[in-house]
Amino acid sequence: MNKLCLLSVSLLVLCACTSKKKDTIKIAKKPNVLFISIDDLNDWVEPLGGHPQAITPNLEEFAKRAMTFTNAHASAPLCNPSRVSIMTGLDPRNTGIVSNNAFYPFRKYLPDAETMIQHFKKEGYYTAGFGKVFHKEDSKTEPWDEYAWCSGRPKPTPYPGHGIKFITDSVYRYFDWGAVADSISKWGENQITQKVDEFFKKSHESPFFLAAGFRLPHLGWYTPPRFHKLYDSLDIQLPDFSHDDIKDVPAIILESVKKDRRAHDTIMGRGVWQDAVKSYLASVSYIDYELGRIMEKLKSSSYYENTIVIVWSDHGFHLGEKSTWRKNTLWEESTRVPLLIHAPEVTKLGAKTDHPVSLLDLYPTLVSLCGITPRDDLDGQNISELLSDPETKLDKDYVTTTNVLGTAIRNKNWRYIQYKDGSEELYDHRTDPLEHINLIGNSDYLDQLNKLRSYLSK
């Protein structure tokens, strides 16, 4: 055979092999994202053990196939700044967005920020949202491919349901609770689940980013009666409380929470503290029920094996600790949040990590997990390595939480707070997990204090 014939044969063989290889290669499909937020949910869930009587079987079941972050914290302890930070990937210390109404709508202050929704959409994802994802109307104005507000909330008659008008009039108008005998379909939470079900039943050619934002257990704590009945036979355990607990904290924070302290005194004086805690727990159990329904819808869909699922809360919540109710303090009860992540073929199933992480980390982490174009202007860090190895040491071993009063530093063992007037708090979580003893002024901890102080300039 001459050289020309040999060359021709070689080319034919090469072409045949190349064609066969092209036919058999499978291009990996980008994963979908199911992004589930739960408003005002503190650590009172079974995977975190924050309240021994919490009934959250679906969160507990999800934790078996997720990584549970036991030391996760909000970058801001209030709805608007927390959600703006999560969805833009920008630290409140850098944007200055540290409160609700003063920085709403957020686009007035960050007109050019590329939100998670925008970035995923630009990368070819179909974006859909149901419920509260951003704060209030900001959820409606982002450029989703599909969005529904789902805001139903039946109220008791007469109102307020708990009968303490002083609190609703002078402290917080939504400070109310109670079982409401109405059709479950009237709750926005149920409407969100229905929307998610409809979404999963559709055929989606593109990968999707689907956000489902539950408003409960945000006040008022109105739920269908069946979820209150879960706790009827229990002697509800109250949070740890001591009047002495706030004697060693700075005056600036005492002034900030004085309305909530009046609410606490009223709640204690009226003997309804257990009822309030029960209603919060009932709200948590109701959301757990809807979460379970969403997980079942996902499991029965064609998207189950290729969907990243993240469950998070925007900040914690006080129910009497340090004489305080609601949120927006820089203490553990207000900053610590549930965070559970399942990433197919990445997450070490059922594992937990106590590495400090921030909700600010979700944006860069999802970008990494989904293999889309990275961004170098995000303030959080990629924590995806923790999903497969909970003992991974990340570059940053602390997180920050900022509000209008100052900033808290939280690492594995310590909490340090510096307020805008220069006053401080320091707590050792190894011996004082409830933050009863402020160690500021104790010279034995000066080296640790100076180390934590140095993080504020980073």
Q: Provide the CATH number for the domain formed by 29-391 in this structure.
A: 3.40.720.10
The predicted pLDDT at position 158 comes to: 86
By the 10 Å C-beta count (0-12 exposed, 13-18 middle, 19+ buried), 202 is classed as: exposed
Q: Which residues pair with 427 in a beta bridge?
A: 415
Angstrom distances, CA of residue 103 to CA of 99, 106, 138, 405:
6, 6, 11, 15
Catalytic residue among 51, 73, 119, 135: 135
**Would the pTM count as exceeding 0.85?**
yes
pLDDT tens-digit readout, 123-167? 999 999 999 999 988 999 999 999 999 988 999 988 899 989 999
The predicted pLDDT at position 28 comes to: 56
The predicted pLDDT at position 205 comes to: 94
Residue 5 annotated in active site: no
Under 8 Å between Cβ of 381 and 341: no
The 10 Å Cβ neighbour count of residue 325 is: 24
Residue ranges with strand state E in 123-184: 126-131, 146-148, 177-179
Catalytic residue among 73, 79, 150, 228: 79
The predicted pLDDT at position 430 comes to: 98
Q: Which residues, including other chains, have CB under 8 Å from residue 360's CB and lie 6 or more apart?
A: 75, 85, 86, 89, 91, 379, 380, 399
pLDDT tens-digit readout, 247-264? 999 999 999 999 999 999
Give the residues of the chain that fall short of pLDDT 50.
Answer: 1-27
Distance CA 76, CA 93 (A): 9
Residue 79 annotated in active site: yes
